[in-house]
Homo-oligomer: A and B are copies of this chain.
Amino acid sequence: MARKADGAASGSAAPIDLIGEAGRQWDKHWGHDAVPSMVATTSIMRAQQILMARLNEILDRFDLTFPRYEALMLLYLSSRGSLPLGKIGERLQVHRTSVTNLVDGLERSAYVERVPHDSDRRMMLAVITPAGRSAAGEATRELNAAQFATAPLTNADLETMTAVLLKLRADADGFPPG
């Protein structure tokens, strides 16, 4: 994830903390009040970019992206190896069109099949295939071994962050915060 060096335009090729620099600009123009929230929000956006790129790189050889991996794992861990499409969207908290795209991608890799529900033929189920089950297991072993791309964070760092984000998620998603 090295940034492109652009010596001519930047005057220097040494990477700097761009979000820290934004914080200093904010302080100067608008005072300190919103600095902690601006810096934290922007840091989450950047962390998501970093993690998504690293995870997608690990998953590439399984013909998966992280969002498709998440959908596949819902099926892998479900008691019947199948879920209605609507339920997948509910669990991943994404729109119907995103579920369609995810399941399309998994179907192209032959990891999932669409099958009508037994008792309600209008409801479509996504069913994990043996190939999908095998890819899910292998990909999970790789992600576990790579600590989900979180280097160089320690378990203490990760648990600290998870606890803070739990407050945000509980508020937004409407469940009791622990």
Contacts and interface: CB of A to CB of B under 8 A. Distances in A.
A3 interface: yes
B175 A164 contact: no
A86 interface: yes
Tell me the dominant secondary structure on chain A's binding face. Answer: helix
Contact of A55 (B1, B41, B157): B41
Contacts of A97: none
B161 A40 contact: yes
Contacts of A140: 30
B1 A173 contact: yes
Given A41-B149, A174-B2, A36 B159 contact: yes
Interface residues of A, number: 82
A139 to B, nearest CB: 12
A36 B107 CA distance: 30
A4 B91 CA distance: 10
Given A36-B155, A174-B2, A169 B51 contact: no
Interface of A: 1-4, 6, 9-10, 14-20, 22, 25, 29-30, 33-34, 36-52, 54-55, 66, 70, 73, 77, 84, 86-87, 89-91, 93, 140-141, 143-145, 147-153, 155, 157-162, 164-175, 178
